[in-house]
Amino acid sequence: MRHVKILEYALASLLRRPGKTAAILVVYTLMIAVLATVLLLTHALKTEAVNLLADGPELVVQRTMAGRHELVPVEAARTVAAIPGVGSVTPRVWGYYYDSLTEANYTLQGVDAADSSLELLDGRLPQADGECAIGAGVAAVRRVGLNDDLILIDANNIGAIFTITGVFRAESRLLTEDLLVMPTESLRRFFGMPAYLATDLAVSVRNPNEINTVANKVKRLLPDSRPISRKELLRTYHAVFDWRGGMLLALFASALLAFCIMAWDKATGLSAGERREIGILKAVGWDTADVLLLKAWEGLAVSLLAFLLGFALAFGLVFWWGAPLLGGVLRGWSVLFPELRPTPYIDLYQIATLAFLTIVPYVASTVIPAWRAAVTDPDEVMRQ
C-alpha cells in the first residue's frame, strides 16, 4: 500500500507539470523508436537472408580471372563430382538484364522444371522454348500477367518474345521479386553463352561437416576457382546489415546526444518548484527513502511509458509498414526491391539491452538530484 500511494502521488506530480512531462515523453519516445527500429529491422533482414539461402546449395563454385567473376567450364563439374563426399554438381546459367523501358535490373535464371524448388503463385514453370516465369515485381513494373507476352532484347540486340507461364511466390520475396526464369538452353541463346560454359556450379555435400574440406579440395583441383559456402554467404549478409545498421545509428547519434543532454540536465539539479516540493514533503514527515522512492517512481513511470510507446511504434513501422523511412538504407536501393513484410519476431535480449541503456540512465538522473535535495535541511531547501 505504501508503494501504491507513493506511485499515485508520483503520477499526480507528473500531471501537475503537463508541458514538461509531455516534452520529455515525446523526445524520449522518438529516441527509443529510432533505436528500436534499427535493431528490429536489422534482425528482420538477417532472418530474410536466412530464408533466402535456406534452400540454396551448400557450396557454390565460381571461376575467377584477375580477381573478377568469370564463366566456368561445364567440364569442371566432373572434376568436382569426383571428390569424395560430393552428392551432386549442377552447372547453373544465370545473369542480369537491364530493362531500359522500366530502368530496372532483372535476374535471369535458367531452370529445369523437374528439379526446381521455386513455388508459383499462378501458372507453371516454363518447359518449352519461348516461355518464361516472372516475379511479382517484374509483373508489376511491366504490367503483364499470366499468358501475356514479354519482350526483351537479347545479346544480339534483337527482340525476343516470351510467353509468361507463371508468376512466382517464395517464403522470402527478396528471392523472386526481380526474378525471370526460362529453360536453360533458351537462356544460353538469349545471353549468347556457349554450351560448354556456365555461370557457376551448385554443389551439394552429403555431410555438412565436410563442406570446408570439400571446398579446400576444389581449390586444389581448380586453382582459378572460388568456392563459397552457404555459411560464408550468411556471414556476408549479416556483416553487411550490421554495418548498415551501425551507419544508421551513427546518423541518429544526434538523438542519442539530445537524450544524454536531457539526462545530464536532470542530473545537475532540480527546478525551484521541485526543490520546494521536496522540502515541503520533508517538513510534513517524509523521510529521505520516501522522497527517493517517489522520484524513482516518477522516472520509471515516464521511462516505461516512453519505452512501451517507442517500441510499439518501432514494431509497427518494421513489421506492419515495412520500415518506409529506414528500409531502403539498410537493404539498399533498387527499382524492384520488394515491399518488406518480415515475420514479426521479438528478441528478448535486444529488448533487455535497449531497456537497460535507456531506462536506467533516466531513472538514475531523476533520483540523484532528488537525493541531494532530500538530505538537505527542509527550511534551507524551501528558501532556495
In this predicted model, what pLDDT tens digit does every residue of 290-320 receive, in sequence order?
777 777 788 888 888 989 998 988 888 877 7
Specify the pLDDT at position 335. 46
Q: Helix, strand, coil: what percent of the chain each, to 5?
A: 55, 20, 25
Q: What region, left, alpha or beta, does residue 172 occupy, with left being phi > 0 and alpha being psi -120 to 50 degrees?
A: beta
108-112: long-range pairs with CB below 8 Å, 24+ = 108/180, 108/181, 108/182, 108/187, 108/190, 108/191, 109/179, 109/180, 109/181, 109/187, 110/181, 110/182, 110/183, 110/184, 110/185, 110/186, 110/187, 110/188, 111/181, 111/182, 111/183, 111/184, 112/183, 112/184
Report residue 101: phi and psi, to 5°: -70, -40
DSSP state letter for 195:
T
Q: Identify each DSSP E strand in the chain by its residue range.
A: 59-65, 68-70, 72-73, 86-92, 94-99, 104-111, 119-123, 131-134, 149-153, 159-169, 179-183, 197-198, 200-205, 225-229
Mean pLDDT rounded to a whole number for the chain? 78
Cell output for 34? 529510432
pLDDT confidence tier of residue 190, bands split at 50, 70 and 90: very high
Q: Is the pLDDT confidence value at 276 over 60?
A: yes
Lowest mean pLDDT among 13-27, 278-292, 351-365: 278-292
Cell output for 290? 520516501
Q: Is the pLDDT confidence value at 262 over 60?
A: yes
Lowest mean pLDDT among 124-133, 185-194, 274-283: 274-283
CB 107 within 8 A of CB 178: yes
Q: Is the pLDDT confidence value at 275 over 70?
A: no
Rounded Cα gap, residues 240 and 35, in angstroms: 18
Q: Is the pLDDT confidence value at 14 over 80?
A: no
- The pTM (predicted TM-score) of the whole model is 0.65
In this prediction, residues 350-372 reach a mean pLDDT of 77
